[in-house]
Structure 1
Amino acid sequence: MTRRLAAVVGALLTMAASMFAVPASAGAAAAPGFHVSDGRLLDANGKEFVLRGVNHAHAWYPDRTGKALADVKALGANSVRVVLGTGDRWAKNDTADVTAVVAQCKKNRLICVLEAHDTTGYGEQSGAASLSRAVDYWISVQNALKGQEKYVILNVGNEPFGNTGYRTWAADTSDAVKRLRAAGFQHTLMADAPNWGQDWSFTMRDNAAGVFASDSQRNTVFSIHMYGVFDTAAEVDDYLNRFVKAGLPLVVGEFGDKHSDGDPDENAIMSRTRQLGLGYMGWSWSGNGSGVEYLDMATGFDAGRLTGWGQRFFNGADGIKETSREASVFSG
């Protein structure tokens, strides 16, 4: 989850020329599962896959996960982004638990995006873990992930910096990617933006090419979280198109229809991602608290009681029902 931003930079920074320096397919090694080619995410069959998914807070509601995954699948989602705890801020989801989560995703024919949540707001949020600690976590549960490259995308750390200390995002993210590859991970990796995921400083935007090039497998996708910073169609368009023009893979890993830091333009987010062929994953299925309960898609985890946001997300224009397609790995 994002939180209220301390300040938002209003003026767009100039795009770094280096962002255009690395073709997304250059130097890519053969991958056993999901892989990036020319800025697009392909599944293990070489078919383009566009994420149309939901975030689910497994770390806090593990007893809800089985039914939640079945419900979002029934509503048309093709993927789920699963909140995991590393043990730094929240109780650790261990190897056995992660194994069970992946099995539930596969049972429901959902691509599983696993994310380490304890990094949220590092440098600003008390107790938040570094990306290096997130890598330690992934290595500790690696046995749950081996052989699952066709079904699992590894989101290294959720919103890994707040609004302070974020200038090391590129170096820290590159180091995390290198360590994961050295440890033998062959999964597609997902890198979240700093600034509570919203990248108002354009740190991820202007350094994504360098991070991508640091991945020996050229198999990293970038994730922007769109809340109050993205309250106009112009801001949504500019950010998404910068990545598309650079040939760099991007998804909207979180967004909502309102937020405490402003009113995100969810209509623009959903329509522009459809037009550009980019993935999105809405926050979140159910269980939100601390004043952001309005981000629940289902009241009390009940698929029969979708909220206004849930109705918009699943059944509205450019929503899940209209645009989601199941990954080809589930159909042979």
Structure 2
Amino acid sequence: MKKLKLLNTLLLFLIFISLISGCTKTTDIYNNTLTEDNTVIITKENINKAPSTSGIKGVNNPHIWFDSQAYSALDTIKSYGFNTVRIVWQTNGSASRLKQIIDRCKSLGLKPIPELHDVTGSTSTSDLDRMVSWWINNKSYIASDVWINIANEWGPRNSTIWRDAYKNAVSRMRNAGINNVLVIDSGGWGQDDQDILNYALEVLNSDPLKNIVFSIHMYGEWNDNSKIYNFLSTCKNRGIPIIVGEFGYNYNNGNNNLGCKVDALYLMQTCRNLGIGFIAWSWTGNNSENAWLDMTSPSDWKTLTYWGKMVVYEKDPNAGNSSVLYNFEGSTQNWTGTNVVGGPWSVNEWAYNGSYSLKADVDLGTGKQFYLCIISNHNFSGKSKLKAVVRHAAWGDQGTGMQAKLYIKVGSNWKWYDGGTVNISSNTSGTVLTLNLSGISGLNDVRELGVQFLSGSGSSGRSAIYLDYLTIE
């Protein structure tokens, strides 16, 4: 039993988690820390948190421009496993028709998020005011459980104008009796991180309901994986409710009209790891210069393109049956180390795939064990094999040699499964570790994932361990 301090009230609760070995510390998506003695420290953000976007996987669907096709496509969107549709709409559209679309989404089990596209890229406060007026005038058509994306990509960059205009918008809508979750796009055509990092909490705190989600759009300004991770993790750590409301991918090596080289697979996996939703642009119907962003063929609104397959299956369509779980490109992706003397860090001194790997310094010694691991929920149902690539540094006396094993812990009792001990070396080609998942029960509740490194007999001195390219198939 441990004591839980919350608002000066002492409560008792039972800690059920028992860790066999491996990771001993983690932080959940609301910034609650599980310390090494299993005491939970609850932060203010978790007491009165704004809406979570965790688990949202959606598409943007251009209903305002392709009414019948987009409406019919909702069934197909659902069949491909999406749970959310961002409904592209404008003020010249019928509110009653929008209600029909919203109702159809709900009947299919899709979360509808309507947005107004009229003032995309505008920085005029009067334009935003017009969007707010439309929502107020048509509030009777919008059920209270529908998230309202006030205006697509409105506002200047890193600006108090963005802040104050949205504080006013929130106030007007609340005073009009609209208590829905409000989704607010960042300025700078939706791509500016500074509006959100500098002013989002002020906007959130101005809302008496604290019922706001902020949306970032990721195209050519988000070609750096470290920027993606740093921004999203900072939002989580600060208690800023965030969703990636639009994003593209690395088409033609960035030689496209948006200069977009976004690593979409990294983006989606990072969102999943951090408990953040994501909505891809877009189902189909883009103009010629944006046609590379069509997820399905415009001829039938059903046949997946390369981009559509990437989002649906969350893997490179050209990469066979494996999907990348972690590649440490520019960040540790929340992995931690146990019994290490430094790190782990994301480093570019070695990589099996890409440019970065995870590294930690260790002090060798006979029988010593080191861990690189992450405590986070994963669902590996239907998967057959887990792989990772490891090596150790060339320095330090390895004695009889270092070994490693890939492992997972499953279920509430944290049952350990591993792929067996494998000899590893300092060879820059790395050593592939494999864990066969066949026959393991409870794969829908994997609690921990990691690699155990075993120091050889007679080993001594300082060395380093590396991990890269965790995939599942």
Per residue, is there more strand in 1 or in 2?
2
Per residue, is there more helix in 1 or in 2?
1
Gapped runs of 5+ residues in structure 2? Answer: 1-42, 251-255, 316-322, 325-377, 380-473
Gapped runs of 5+ residues in structure 1? Answer: 1-21, 27-36, 42-47, 87-91, 324-332
* Residue identity matched to 1:161: G
Query: How big is each residue's C-alpha offset from its partner over 1:201-252, in whole Å with a ceiling of 9 and x where there is no partner?
Result: x122211110000111001010000111111210100110111000121000
Q: Give the corresponding residue for 2:173.
A: 180
Q: Does 1:74 align with 2:76?
A: no
* Residue identity matched to 2:165: D
Match of 1:136 among 123, 133, 137: 133
Match of 1:154 among 148, 157, 180: 148
Distance 2:204 2:299 in 1: 37
**Secondary structure of 2:295's match?**
coil
Query: How big is each residue's C-alpha offset from its partner over 1:124-148, in whole Å with a ceiling of 9 and x where there is no partner?
Result: 8xxx972111101101211111xx2
Distance 2:210 2:99 in 1: 26
**Secondary structure of 2:147's match?**
strand
Q: CA separation of 1:236/1:75 partners in 2, compared to 1, >3 Å: closer, same or farther? A: same
Shift of residue 257, structure 1, vs aligned partner: 1.0
Contact 2:268 2:314 in 1 (8 A): no
Q: CA separation of 1:248/1:210 partners in 2, compared to 1, >3 Å: closer, same or farther? A: same
Q: Give the corresponding residue for 1:327.
A: none
* 1:1-332 aligned within 5 A: 23-24=44-45, 38-41=49-52, 50-86=55-91, 92-123=92-123, 130-145=127-142, 148-150=143-145, 152-161=146-155, 166-200=159-193, 202-258=194-250, 260-300=258-298, 302-317=300-315
Shift of residue 94, structure 1, vs aligned partner: 2.2
Contact 1:149 1:186 in 2 (8 A): yes
Count of aligned residue pairs for this structure pair: 271
**Secondary structure of 2:298's match?**
helix
Q: Give the corresponding residue for 1:11.
A: none
Contact 1:226 1:254 in 2 (8 A): yes
Identical amino acids, percent of aligned pairs: 31
The structure that has the greater radius of gyration is 2
Shift of residue 82, structure 1, vs aligned partner: 0.3
| C-alpha RMSD over aligned residues | 2.4
Q: CA separation of 1:39/1:186 partners in 2, compared to 1, >3 Å: closer, same or farther? A: closer
**Secondary structure of 1:293's match?**
helix
Q: Give the corresponding residue for 1:13.
A: none
Q: CA separation of 1:81/1:283 partners in 2, compared to 1, >3 Å: closer, same or farther? A: same
Q: CA separation of 1:93/1:243 partners in 2, compared to 1, >3 Å: closer, same or farther? A: same
Distance 2:299 2:239 in 1: 38
Q: CA separation of 1:49/1:84 partners in 2, compared to 1, >3 Å: closer, same or farther? A: same
Distance 2:278 2:181 in 1: 16
Contact 1:170 1:204 in 2 (8 A): no
Shift of residue 156, structure 1, vs aligned partner: 0.7
* Residue identity matched to 1:38: K
Q: Which runs of 4+ in 1 moved over 4 A?
A: 22-26
Contact 1:131 1:157 in 2 (8 A): yes
| Deviates further, 185-194 or 56-65 | 56-65
- Taking structure 2 as the reference length, the TM-score comes to 0.54
Higher RCO (C-alpha under 8 Å, 6+ residues apart): 1
